[in-house]
Structure formats: C-alpha cells, structure tokens
C-alpha cells in the first residue's frame, strides 16, 4: 500500500470524535497515532448529552477537527454538525458513515461537513483529509494581500444604491481591476436584472453557508460573470431562500473574498441588521446613500447615530447624496449642517439616463461624457488608487461637488 507524503504541522492538531463506534474509533486511534503532528484529544461516545453540553465540551477542548459518526442517529448527527459550524466555524467537521449514497453525502456536506469518510476508516483517505485541512489552515495563517472592500447602504428604500454599486463595479472591472460585486439583499436583489445576467444557479448566502469548504475552486462555481469582467454574487431570487447563516460565517466569507479580489463592493439592503453591521465592520468604508429630501435626511441622521453606537469610526463613513440638483428644495450645505459632516459625493439627477441603463441591462458607458459617467469615473479613482484614510473629508468629490 502506498503512503501519502505530507509535511508535519508545526503544532499538534487536535481531533475529537463524537459517537464513533468502538471498531471505527480503534482504527482512527491507530491511524492518527502514527501521524506526527496529529492527536485524538477527545472521544465523546454518547448522544444523550445535550447540545449545550456538547458545545461546551468542544469549546473547552478547542479541537481542529471533529469527526461525527452518522450511522447511529443520522438526524442528530446532521443537527450537531450544523450547530458546530454555526457556532465554531473554525472547527472542521468530518462525517463518518458506512454508506456512500449520494443523497447521504450531500446531506452531510450541507450540514457543514467538509469531508465524508467511510467505514472501516481507510488510512490513505483519513490521512488525505487531515493533511488537506492542515494545509488550508496553514495557508489561512499566512498574511495575504487584502483587496479593498466597500459597503453601500441606502438610508431608505429607493435611494439608488444598486445603480451606483453596479456602475462603480463594472467601471472598475473594465479597467482590469479584479472586482467582485455582492448583492447582499436577503431576497429579490436587483443586480442580476440591472446587469442582464439572467437566472443564476447559486446566491451569496449559499456561499456563506459553505464557508467551511470555501476555496478558490468552490468560489468559481458560485460567481456569475459579466461581460465587463466583473464577478457577481447574486441575491436569492425568491423569498425565504437564505436560511440564516451566522454573522461570524458571513464575516469569515467576506475576509476570504477580500483575499481573492482587488475590489469588493457590497450592495446592502436598507437597515442596520447584524449582516449589514458585519459587512460594514469588514469594509474599508461605508457609503450611506440618501436623497435631497426631508425623510431621507432624517434617516441619514439616525443611521449616523447608530453607527456611532456600533463603534464605527467617523472617518470610515462616507455620505452620498444621490439624484442631486442645484434646484433641490434641500441644499447640500443645509444637509452638511444637519448631519455635522461633509458630503463626499453629490450624484447628479440623471433620471432618463439611469432608467435607460436599467431597462437595457447595460450600465452607462464611460465614453458617454455625461455628468453621471464622468462622476462615476472620478469615484472609481478614489476606490482603487487612493487609500481610504487619506481622503480629504472636507472636500466633496464629483462633478457637482468640485
């Protein structure tokens, strides 16, 4: 029998087994015991412990890998795998079972398992799974070059966030910048419609649910590609399709995506729920988009107050007034006086131009030479060329803000 070559981990990686029968447990002890750098640090052999007791035990042991037997009580095994991944996503969960039916494997993977091992445990297969996990863990520990990420949030519905996000993202992609646009709406996001991408097979929250398996190859199967070169992670196109991944899983997903792309733009739904707060926390800056009208400005004040409570640094916040006209009832200086901070961008009111772009599924081209097109081009410059911390906050950017 051939052996699998591998580099021993720099530290011992702990493995805990859960409800594994005595024959399989003995085989695992023999296999793991012969591997330098790996050790079985715990064997939990009963299902009668409550979910809380199991999680408490795992928190105390802090294993790198948890191997769960799926034969004794498959329903309980699925529930525990999901619970472990939602509360402790750093732990890799392996399924161990006697049958390899496709539906069983799919169910285990959906519950959070990254590997599906068969009984009796085969040495090469176990070693392969452990080494693969160790290599991924080691790679994640290497400082990676992080791209820039920006969250876009409308202070009320209909402020035009998706229009701005799609134009900025496609314009950056056409410059050759590796760009990802995320539609973080929980249902019926519009990015796929605005970019005429058609029906998509997967959505962003499915990727978050699979954070335990996330690597460049898996990501490739989830993104939709636009003709500009832009990669898109779409929103669900139906209600109730997201499930509820943990905030920690969402943040871990965003951290991974920042390592894969030079620029990540997140189109958030209105509001400051835990997902939006997580995205803002992981972003270099948040753009709050409002309109020059009283309800929008009122909401903008409330958003700024809440971001302060969430410990979001003031220098991380950008104010955008969309659909601005010099004849607007509320002037830009009045808005700045109300919110006590400068406006970063005044986006011109180009209704016909924007509606035409939406209905055709084609963003306004860079060579349009319109106020909107030129302003978008200048805005992209600030996203990719200038470090966020060095932006001059006392100055408004864009055609109407110069």
pLDDT, tens digit (0-9, with 9 covering 90-100), for 275-331: 889 899 989 999 999 999 999 999 999 999 988 887 888 889 999 999 888 887 788
Nearest of 290, 383, 388 to residue 339 by alpha carbon: 290
Q: How confident is the model at residue 49 (pLDDT cuts 50, 70, 90)?
A: very low
155 token code pair: 């202070």
Distances (CA, A) of 155 to 59, 288, 301: 39, 6, 9
- Mean per-residue pLDDT, 215-228: 88
67: part of which helix (H) or strand (E)? strand 65-69
Residue 27 tokens, joined: 């085989």
What is the value of pTM for the model shown?
A: 0.65
The domains of the chain, with CATH numbers, are: 13-141 (3.40.50.2300), 148-401 (3.40.50.300)
Q: Percent of the chain, pLDDT > 90?
A: 36
Structure confidence at residue 301 (pLDDT): 94
- Average pLDDT value for residue range 3-31: 76
Please say if the pLDDT value at position 395 is more than 60: no
Q: Can you name the residues that pair with 320 across neighbouring β-strands?
A: 289, 345
The predicted pLDDT at position 137 comes to: 76
Dihedral, CA of residue 366, residue 371, residue 374 and residue 380, to nearest 10: -100
Give the residues across from 66 on adjacent strands.
16, 93
* Rounded Cα distance, 231 and 227, in Å: 9
């Amino acid at each position: 029998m051939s052996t699998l070559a591998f580099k021993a981990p720099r530290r011992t990686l702990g493995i805990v087994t859960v409800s594994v029968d005595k024959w399989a447990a003995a085989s695992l002890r023999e296999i793991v015991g012969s591997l330098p750098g790996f050790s079985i640090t715990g064997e939990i052999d009963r299902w009668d412990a409550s979910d809380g007791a199991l999680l408490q035990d795992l928190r105390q042991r802090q294993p790198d890998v948890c191997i769960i037997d799926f034969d004794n009580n498959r329903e309980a095994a699925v529930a525990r795998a999901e619970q472990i991944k939602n509360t402790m996503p750093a732990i890799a969960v392996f399924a161990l079972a006697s049958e390899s039916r496709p539906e069983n494997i799919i169910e285990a993977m959906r519950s959070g398992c990254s590997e599906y091992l068969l009984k009796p445990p085969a040495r090469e297969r176990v070693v392969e799974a452990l080494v693969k996990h160790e290599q991924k863990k080691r790679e994640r520990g290497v400082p990676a070059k992080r791209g820039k990420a920006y969250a876009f949030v409308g202070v009320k519905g209909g402020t035009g966030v998706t229009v701005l996000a799609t134009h900025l993202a496609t314009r950056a992609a056409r410059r050759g910048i590796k760009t990802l646009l995320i539609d973080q709406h929980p249902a019926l996001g519009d990015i796929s419609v605005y970019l005429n991408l058609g029906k998509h097979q997967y959505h962003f929250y499915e990727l978050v649910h699979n954070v335990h398996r996330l690597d460049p190859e898996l990501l490739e199967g989830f993104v939709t590609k636009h003709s500009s070169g832009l990669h898109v992670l779409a929103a669900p196109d139906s209600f109730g399709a997201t499930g509820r991944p943990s905030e920690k899983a969402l943040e871990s997903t965003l951290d991974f995506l920042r390592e894969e792309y030079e620029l990540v733009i997140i189109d958030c739904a209105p509001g400051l729920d835990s997902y939006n707060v997580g995205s803002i926390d992981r972003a270099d800056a948040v753009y709050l988009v409002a309109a020059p009208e009283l309800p929008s400005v009122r909401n903008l004040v409330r958003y700024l107050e809440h971001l302060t409570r969430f410990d979001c640094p003031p220098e991380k916040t950008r104010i955008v007034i969309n659909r601005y006209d010099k004849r607007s009832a509320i002037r830009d200086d009045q808005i700045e006086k109300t919110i006590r901070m400068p406006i970063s961008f005044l986006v011109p009111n180009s209704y016909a131009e924007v509606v035409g772009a939406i209905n055709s599924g084609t963003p306004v081209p860079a060579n349009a030479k319109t106020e909107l097109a030129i302003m978008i081009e200048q805005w992209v410059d600030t996203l990719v060329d200038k470090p966020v911390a060095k932006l001059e906050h006392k100055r408004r950017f864009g055609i109407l803000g110069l």
